[in-house]
Amino acid sequence: MATSNNIRVAVHGAAGKVGMEVLRAIAAEQDMELVAAIDRIPQADAPTLPVHVPYYSVLTDAITAGKPDVIVDFTNAEASLPMARVALAEGVRLVVGSTGWTEDQLDYLSALCDEHKSAGVVAPNFALGAVLLTYLAGLVAPYFEYVDVSEEHHEAKIDAPSGTAMGIAKAIHEGRGGDMTRQMPTREPLTGTRGGDYHGISVHSSRMPGRMAHHQVTFGTAGQTLTLRHDTTNRECYMPGVLMAVRKVMDMQGLTVGLEKILDFGPAK
């Protein structure tokens, strides 16, 4: 039951697969009130939502009618950034799981949060296991010379490598404090076989039906390897992290990038 103390939440990208999971999760929480589902798809063309909630195709209409405290966004950077400009100006806080953000865009979003004295959380992955994998990879990095990061996703994912894979690579680079050693073959009959190069970290992407989200980090040094892997089996795995971020962002200021920043541990050193 809604009370005056509940966090009022709108979902942007509500007609998407993750958006629908967010609707279910928010609606089930005792301290939250789901006030709006927002998507660019007109309601007549949208799939049936899993819960009863007012549906809007125009962001400003949703904010005016629903008066959300927080907007949870699972779209893409192209749609997310214009939404953020409007929402932050209206005093709405953000929890963003959209992918494809550039460093310049994140800097701009941070400036918007500061300008409007508001807050946002942007995370490439809200699955707590994936966040822990990223953290552990940064801890391991100083003790190994070589590393490959491999990720597998469904065929409809728009970016490669995934934002999570890049987050893992950045954590490894920061944890090591320098570049890894990257072996390159004398001959390469098929160009690009060693994957993308991020500071000596080889990053590989796979896209095909039958997969959802999988990330693996394999470290190597003389006589041994160490493998860390996280598998996502359904979209419910993101919900504990999303709900945590919605609660935490109410007491935050400025932009926070990465779910690990609001957990009990900080980024790996």
Ordered by start, the domain boundaries in the chain are: 7-122, 128-232
- pLDDT above 60: residue 118: yes
Helix (H, G, I), strand (E, B) or coil at 221: strand
Which pLDDT belongs to residue 265?
64
- Looking at 17, 67, 154, 157, which residue is catalytic? 157
157 in catalytic set: yes
- pTM of the full structure: 0.81
Please give the Cα distance from 145 to 130 (Å, whole number). Answer: 22
Please give the Cα distance from 38 to 72 (Å, whole number). Answer: 10
The domain over range 7-122 is classified in CATH as 3.10.180.10 = no
Give the start-end residues of each E strand in 91-211: 93-96, 119-122, 146-153, 196-198, 201-207
Find, among 85, 106, 241, the residue nearest to 166 by Cα.
106
- Looking at 153, 170, 173, 230, which residue is catalytic? 153
Which pLDDT belongs to residue 76?
86
| Mean pLDDT confidence for 3-16 | 90
Q: Quickly list H helices, 128-183.
A: 128-140, 163-176
- pLDDT above 80: residue 3: no
pLDDT, one tens digit per residue, over 183-222 is: 989 999 999 999 999 999 999 999 999 998 999 999 999 9
- pLDDT above 90: residue 158: no
Rg (CA), the chain: 20
153 in catalytic set: yes
| Mean pLDDT confidence for 156-167 | 89
pLDDT, one tens digit per residue, over 46-64 is: 999 999 999 999 999 999 9
Binned at pLDDT 50, 70 and 90, residue 1 comes out as very low
| Mean pLDDT confidence for 126-153 | 96
CA distance readout (Å), 263 to 45, 102, 238: 39, 24, 15
Strand order in the sheet with 70-73: 55-56, 32-38, 7-12, 70-73, 93-96, 119-122, 254-257
- pLDDT above 70: residue 266: no
CATH of domain 128-232: 3.30.360.10
| Mean pLDDT confidence for 9-20 | 95
Please give the Cα distance from 151 to 157 (Å, whole number). Answer: 12
